[in-house]
Amino acid sequence: MRAQEDLLSILEEDEEETVEYATASFKTNRVINLHSLENTAKGVLDFKIGHRFGFINSGIDELFGLDNATMRLGFNLGLTDNFVIGLGRSTFEKTVDGYLKYRFLRQSSGAKNMPITAAAVFTSAVRTIPLSDPNRENIFKHRLAYTYQLIIGRKFSENFTLQLSPTLVHRNLVETAVEENDVLAIGIAARQKLTKRVTLNAEYVYVLPDQLGEQYKNSFSIGFDIETGGHVFQLHFTNSTSMVEKGYIGETVGDWLDGDIHFGFNVSRVFTLFR
């Protein structure tokens, strides 16, 4: 009898020490453009294809944008459950980008109670198309841009997640004298679960005033995530052509009110490389 009581006591202690981590805050490590709270798991390679058609208001001659497309091919690998590296190449401005993402807080309950998830993202991008002014001295560093981003969010329930993304974008070279090299912005993103396999996602990036020219707009995107086994399809509408930070934060020219809207999709497929 005493041995049984001791065993029950040990089991109760183990149960008390259990930590339950929040999972599936978003279906992938991207909301639409923004990095999400989620990380690629250790040993998993995530292959992403991003595709944006032309503006819907381009008319029937361009089949409402379907005749044109911008693409990004990307890979990211979970070195640990909290540390991810990524690499991608976009047709827009023929940009090559890479990033490091480290999750230093993870929402949990039980023995360890943490109300939020937080991660830091560092990205770099190099534009490989010819620079716009051939008479200016063209040196390699003019092609580079860097982004420093903090992601803070919480999965409030099984159905709803909210995150904020304070961001600094630094561009070594800007197009006009009225633009700042350093651009401060804050992104907000939310996810609402509709069914077991479908979610509604939305994100908005607000750029603080007096940093960009009047032709640039804030990025707004909305769409659906659809999970089908090993794939996640993200169908969305956005006014941003670029799929890298320095582009959709600092170079978005589309105006939703004028119909400058891209229909696009992201396809994500994961492969387990090691455990």
Q: What pLDDT score was predicted for residue 157?
A: 93
Give the tens place of pLDDT for each residue, 257-271.
998 999 999 998 888
pLDDT for residue 48 is more than 60? yes
Q: Using CA atoms, how far apart are residues 28 and 104, in angstroms rounded to an integer?
A: 18
Q: Residue 243: phi, psi to the nearest 5?
A: -115, 15
With 0-12 / 13-18 / 19 or more C-beta atoms within 10 angstroms meaning exposed / middle / buried, residue 91 is: middle
Q: Using CA atoms, how far apart are residues 252 and 274, in angstroms rounded to an integer?
A: 38
Q: Which CATH number fits domain 27-272: 3.30.70.20, 3.30.160.70, 3.40.50.300, 2.40.160.40?
A: 2.40.160.40
Q: In one letter, which amino acid is 206?
A: Y
Q: What pLDDT score was predicted for residue 158?
A: 93
Domain boundaries, the chain: 27-272
Least confident of 8-12, 99-103, 247-251, 252-256: 8-12
- Three-class secondary structure assignment of the chain: CHHHHHHHHHHHHHHHCCEEECCCCCCCCECCCCECCCCCCECEEEEEEEEEEEEHHHCHHHHHHCCCEEEEEEEEEECCCCEEEEEEEECHHHEEEEEEEEEEECCEEECCCECCEEEEEEEEEEECCCCCCCCCCCCHHHHEEEEEEEEEEEECCCCEEEEEEEEEEEECCCCCCCCCCEEEEEEEEEEEECCCCEEEEEEEEEECCCCCCCCCCCEEEEEEEEEECCEEEEEEEECCCCCCHHHHHHCCCCCHHHCCCEEEEEEEEEEECCC
Q: Using CA atoms, how far apart are residues 114 and 205, in angstroms rounded to an integer?
A: 26
Give the tens place of pLDDT for each residue, 194-240.
999 999 999 999 999 989 888 899 999 999 999 887 788 899 999 99
Give the tens place of pLDDT for each residue, 146-194.
999 999 999 999 999 999 999 999 998 887 778 888 999 999 999 999 9
Q: Using CA atoms, how far apart are residues 165 and 11, in angstroms rounded to an integer?
A: 41
Averaged over 59-63, what is the pLDDT?
Answer: 85
pLDDT for residue 61 is more than 70? yes
pLDDT interval class at 1 (50, 70, 90): low
pLDDT for residue 19 is more than 90? no
Which is nearest to 244 in space by CA: 16, 89, 15, 53? 89
Q: Which residues of 134-148 are buried (b: 16+ CB within 10 A; e: fewer)?
A: eeeeeeeeebebbbe
